[in-house]
Structure 1
Amino acid sequence: MDLDELRRQHAAIGLTARALEQAVSETYQPDGVARLRWQLARQLMTHVAFEDRIFYPTLKRSAEARTRDRATMLERELGALGDRFKAYMTDWSDARIRREWPAFCAETRPILNMLMDRIGQEDRLFDTLAHDRTIRHGTTARSA
């Protein structure tokens, strides 16, 4: 399992989410909001497909019950977050965003907060997995 690739994807998603967060802090709709939304959606679709295909199946085969249980819980939560994000993307057309900018901003902020919280949870799980792998393989990190 390539934790580095998952981390790279998280970093890219985080950059786009922060750019969208900055955009929705503006009083008037700035140029590029639609592009940011769709960029974030594409990044999330790619990331979720990678997780569904590789990450979660690998975790569910773990010898440790704690890891299997955590993976099952996170996967279930991901489904709910995915449904909410899909509804958000469907509900907010470009025309509606222009008409209802303050409402769009109000709905976007909690979505981005949930997304960033989720990324934080997964990053902590990645750290745990990397640590567990290091212990299992008897390797230690080198200090600079």
Structure 2
Amino acid sequence: MPILAKLRDEHRVLETDINRMLEIVANPAPDAASIAAIRWRLAQALFDHCAQEDRAIHDRLAQSGDATAIAACRDYRREHGAMGERFGRYIADWPIERISRDWETFGAETRAMARRVADRIAVEETSLYPLLERMVLMRAA
């Protein structure tokens, strides 16, 4: 299924960017310039991925007629929206000047955000994507 392969590839890019951010915040000295660049790229990739996933996965599951898939889709969409809002708040709460001023707290919040994104990726790949794969296989049978 090409779309799932593309979405999984996007997850790998997100993970790479998150790991780079974690490397940066692990340094004792603030590096706001590096954070600004990677954070912008991560935000863009995350929001693009969410939009693609919404069209490719959520819409199909919501219209599938499968009660399990529809219920899961509803729950994932709710969490999906919450993830975008939390990430947007994380960006808004941490302008560059604050990052430089409070590097340690920024690092802690970045690690927490990274865990949330990693958890979401794991759930998508182990629960959400298999629902679509199952639906496609059932229709093909």
Regarding TM over 0.5, the answer is yes
What is aligned with 1:129?
A: 132
Runs of 5+ unmatched residues, structure 2: none
Q: Which has the higher helix share?
A: 2
What pairs with 1:102-113 in structure 2 (closer than 5 Å)? 102-113=104-115
What pairs with 1:1-144 in structure 2 (closer than 5 Å)? 2-30=3-31, 32-124=34-126, 125-134=128-137, 136-138=139-141
Q: Alpha-carbon deviation of 1:136?
A: 4.5
Please, what TM-score do these two structures have when normalized by structure 2?
0.88
Deviations along 1:101-139, one digit per CA (max 9) or x if unpaired, are 00100111111100110011011121343255345535x
Q: Which amino acid aligns with 2:104?
A: P
Instruction: List, as ranges, runs of 4+ consecutive aligned residues in structure 1 with deviation greater than 4 Å.
Output: none
SS in 2 for 1:62: coil
The number of equivalent residue pairs is: 138
SS in 1 for 2:26: coil
Runs of 5+ unmatched residues, structure 1: 139-144
Please, what TM-score do these two structures have when normalized by structure 1?
0.86
Q: Contact conserved, 2:47 with 2:84, CA < 8 A, in 1? A: no
Deviations along 1:29-55, one digit per CA (max 9) or x if unpaired, are 245111111111010111111123332
Instruction: Tell me the C-alpha RMSD between the 2 structures.
Output: 1.8
Q: Which amino acid aligns with 1:7?
A: R
% of aligned pairs identical?
33
Q: Alpha-carbon deviation of 1:85?
A: 0.8
Q: Which amino acid aligns with 2:25?
A: V
Deviates more, 1:27-36 or 1:89-98: 27-36
* Structure showing greater relative contact order (alpha-carbon pairs closer than 8 Å, 6 or more residues apart): 2
